[in-house]
Amino acid sequence: MAMLSAVSPATADNEAVFQAPLSASDAPPSPVTSIQAKDITRHTIALAWQAPERANGVILEYEVKYYEKDQNERSYRIIKTTSRHTDIKGLTALTSYVFHVRARTAAGYGDFSAPFEFMTNSVPAPIIGDGANSTVLLVSVVGSVVLLIILISAFVISRRRNKYSKAKQDADEEKHLHQGVRIYVDPFTYEDPNQAVREFAKEIDASCIKIEKVIGIGEFGEVCSGRLKMPGKREICVAIKTLKAGYTDKQRRDFLSEASIMGQFDHPNIIHLEGVVTKCKPVMIITEYMENGSLDAFLRKNDGRFTVIQLVGILRGIASGMKYLSDMSYVHRDVAARNILVNSNLVCKVSDFGMSRVLEDDPEAAYTTRGGKIPIRWTAPEAIAYRKFTSASDVWSYGIVMWEVMSYGERPYWDMSNQDVIKAIDEGYRLPPPMDCPVALHQLMLDCWQRERADRPKFGQIVNMLDKLIRNPSTLKRTGGKDYATRRSNPSLLEPGSPEPCPSAGTVDDWLRDIGMERYSDNFTAAGYTSPEGVVHMTQEDMARIGIAVATHQNKILSSVQGMLSQMQQMQGRMVPV
C-alpha cells in the first residue's frame, strides 16, 4: 500500500533523534538502479523498480521522491510503499516528472537512485463500451482508432521530448554529479554569483513574510523570527537574516553566498533554506525556524537534564548531517556547537554556511601566523598549520562537538590559551572524558582526534558507531567516573611500562573485567578494595595478602594499577596523553 507522506522538504519527516534501527545489519541498502514506467496516462504514472543489488537486510519500505521537472527538486513529494511498484496519481497532463527511489532496511535508508524522468500523456485513456449497441460499438472502435493514433503520436512526441529533456538534464546535472552523487557547487565559481543565488535559492515575495522579533545578531545584520505564508501553503515559522543598510556589493555577495550554499542541501540535519528576498530591501535569507537556538547555549541552559541516549541522539543527528555534507564534498571548516541549531523536537541541524564569512564572523576564530582566522580549539592540527581543511578536519571538529555535548557546553580546553592548546595537542595531549561520559563515546572522540587525518573515522562510520550504541544502550553504561582518568586513545600508543589497559570504568569490578582478571573480584571486595582510588597504592605484597598468588596475574594487575596512578596524576593537569 502506498502512503503519501510529505509535500515539501519543509514538511518532510525530521530524522528521529532517537530512532534505533531494528536489526544488527550496519550497512544500508545499495541504491535502486532501475525504475520503469509500466503505464502512463494523463494524470497517473505506474512505476516499478528493481530491488537494490545489495539489500544488506530485509527491505522494510521504499520511498519514491518525485517532482515536476521544471519546478526542480525543492518542491517534491514522497510516497512510501512496501512493494516494488506504485501508482503516482494526481499528476498534471503532458508534464515531465523526475523520480528517485530508495530502499530502507533496519540499518536505515540507502541512497536515492539516479533521476528517472517520465512524462504524463496529453489525452484521456480510451474507454470501450460494453458492445451491446452496434452504433456505440462503431463509434467506440472509430474513437479508439483515432485515440490510438493520437496516443501513438503523443508517445512518439513524449519519447522525443523525454530524450531531449534527459539530454538537457544530463548536461545540466553534469557539473553537479560526481559518480552519481550530487556534489556541492561553490557559488564563487560562478562568474556572476547572483546567478548561483537564482539557481539555488527561491525568490520569495516580501509580502509573504511577517517579521516578529529580533533573535540574534549576525555578521551582516539582525536575525529575526517571523512567519512565512506562501500562496497555497500553510503558514510556517521562519528565521529571517537581514542585510543591514549601506552594504557594499561584496557584502551583498558574501551574505547571499550562504543561501546559494544552503539551497543545495536537502537533509533533515542541515538547516533548510526557504528562500531569499533580493528584489527589495532589506535583502533577506529565510530559513526554517529552530526554536531552541544554538546548541552550545541550549546545552548550558539545560545542564544535566538529558539522558545519555538523548545526548547520543543529538550527536547522531549532527553526524548524519555531516555525513551528508562530506558525501557532497562540502567541507564546513567551522563545525562547533555554536554553529548547530536545535529545534523543538531536539533535532540538531548544521548551520553557518557563509563562504569567507564562515571564519570571519566566528568570535572564536583567531588569526594564525600564516594569516586567516581559525577557531583553534575546534580545528585539526593540519588545518591550523597549513590550512589543510578536509572532511577529515571536519571530523576532528566533530570530536570537539561531541565533547561539548557530553559536557553540556563546557568550553573546550577551559581557560587555556590558544597557543597552549596548540602546544598540548602537538605533544599528544587530548581532552579527557567529560563527567559521566561513556567510555565508548570518549574513545570515539579520541579516534576523531588522531594526529594522522587518514586514521580518523569517516562520518559514515561515526553514524554507524552511534547507531550501534543507541541499539545497545548497555554499552553506554560504562563511564570514566566523575573525576578520574580515561582509557588511552590507542592501545598501540601506550607508553612502555603500562602494557595493560588502565581502569576505565567506575568500579573495581569493571576494571578487573577490563583487564581479564575478574576472577579476583571477590578477593578485592573481601579485602575492602571497593574504589579505584583504593587500589592505586597496592603493592605486590598486598596482592599476595588478598590471595592473588600467581606471579603473572600479580604483574598484570600491578601494571594496570601503575597506569591508573599515572593517569590520575595527569588528570590533575586535566589533559590525557595519547
**Which residues participate in catalysis according to the annotation?**
334
Binding flag, residue 410, ligand AMP (CB under 6 A): no
Sheet holding 85-88, edge to edge: 35-40, 45-49, 85-88
Q: How far is the CB of 73 from ligand AMP (least distance, A)?
A: 21
Of 32 and 286, nearer to ligand AMP (C-beta) is 286
Reduced to 3 states, what is the DSSP secondary structure of residue 32?
coil
DSSP result, 96-130? EEEEEEEEEETTEE-PPPPPEEEE--SSPPP----
Q: If we measure between CA atoms, which residue out of 241, 350, 258 comes closest to residue 295?
A: 350
Shortest approach of ligand AMP to residue 459 CB, angstroms? 22
**306 closest CA partner among 446, 236, 405:** 405
User: Smallest distance, Å, CB 112 to ligand AMP?
Assistant: 26
With contact defined as beta carbons under 8 Å apart, do 82 and 96 qualify? no
Among 197, 314, 341, 485, binds ligand AMP (CB under 6 A): 341
Choices 152-160, 282-290, 420-428, 488-496; region in contact with ligand AMP by CB under 6 A: 282-290
Asked whether 95 and 68 are in contact (CB, 8 A), the reply is yes
Nearer to ligand AMP, 289 or 403 (CB): 289
Interface with ligand AMP, residue 294, by CB under 6 A: yes
Q: What whole-number distance in Å separates Cα of residue 518 and Cα of residue 510?
A: 8
Are 218 and 339 in contact, with CB atoms under 8 Å apart? Answer: no
CB of 283 to ligand AMP, least distance (A): 14
For ligand AMP, the binding residue among 96, 120, 269, 287 (CB under 6 A) is 287
- Please state, as a whole number, how many other Cβ atoms lie within 10 Å of the Cβ of residue 420: 11
CA distances, 328 to each of 174, 181, 382, 505 (Å): 14, 7, 22, 39
Task: Answer yes or no whether residue 289 interacts with ligand AMP by CB under 6 A.
Answer: yes
What angle is formed at CA 369 by the lines to CA 364 and CA 372, rounded to 5 degrees? Answer: 50
Q: Which stretch binds ligand AMP (CB under 6 A): 188-196, 286-294, 431-439, 543-551?
A: 286-294
Closest CB to ligand AMP among 140 and 242?
242
- What H or E segment, with its residue span, contains residue 85? strand 85-88
At 6 the three-state DSSP class reads strand
Q: Which is nearer to ligand AMP, 32 or 322 (CB)?
A: 322
Query: Toward ligand AMP, which CB reaches closer, 351 or 560?
Result: 351
- Span 61-100, contacts to ligand AMP by CB under 6 A: none
Neighbours of 28 (CB within 10 A): 25
Which of 10, 285, 290, 383 binds ligand AMP (CB under 6 A)? It is 290
User: Cβ distance 95 to 119 under 8 Å?
Assistant: yes
Cell numbers describing residue 142: 472509430
Compute the distance between CA of residue 95 and CA of residue 114 in angstroms, rounded to an integer: 19
Helix (H, G, I), strand (E, B) or coil at 136: helix
Q: Give one DSSP letter per residue of 364-389, joined into a string.
A: T-EE-TTSSEE-GGGS-HHHHHH---
Kindly identify the residues of this chain, within the stretch 167-226, that bind ligand AMP according to CB under 6 A.
Answer: 215-216, 218, 223
Part of the chain binding ligand AMP (CB under 6 A), chosen from 243-251, 285-293, 393-401, 505-513: 285-293
In the complex, the smallest distance separating the C-beta of residue 390 from ligand AMP, rounded to whole angstroms, is 23
Site for ligand AMP in 345-374 (CB under 6 A): 351-352
Binding residue count for ligand AMP, defined by CB under 6 A: 14
Between 289 and 459, whose beta carbon lies closer to ligand AMP?
A: 289
Is 335 one of the binding residues for ligand AMP (CB under 6 A)? no
In the complex, the smallest distance separating the C-beta of residue 362 from ligand AMP, rounded to whole angstroms, is 8
Is residue 298 involved in binding ligand AMP (CB under 6 A)?
A: no
CB of 340 to ligand AMP, least distance (A): 10
Q: How far is the CB of 328 from ligand AMP (least distance, A)?
A: 20
Q: How far is the CB of 343 from ligand AMP (least distance, A)?
A: 8
Interface with ligand AMP, residue 293, by CB under 6 A: yes
Question: Among residues 182 and 377, whose Cβ is nearest to ligand AMP?
Answer: 377
- 513, 518, 522, 523: CA torsion to nearest 10: -110
CA distance 532 to 176: 56
Whats the size of the chain, residue-wise? 578
Residue whose CB is less far from ligand AMP, 286 or 395: 286
Query: With respect to ligand AMP, which residue has the nearer C-beta, 216 or 573?
Result: 216
Question: Is residue 239 a contact residue for ligand AMP (CB under 6 A)?
Answer: yes
Q: What one-letter code names the amino acid at 274?
A: E
Closest CA to 222 of 210, 213, 232, 209: 213
**Residue ranges binding ligand AMP (CB under 6 A):** 215-216, 218, 223, 239, 271, 287, 289-290, 293-294, 341, 351-352
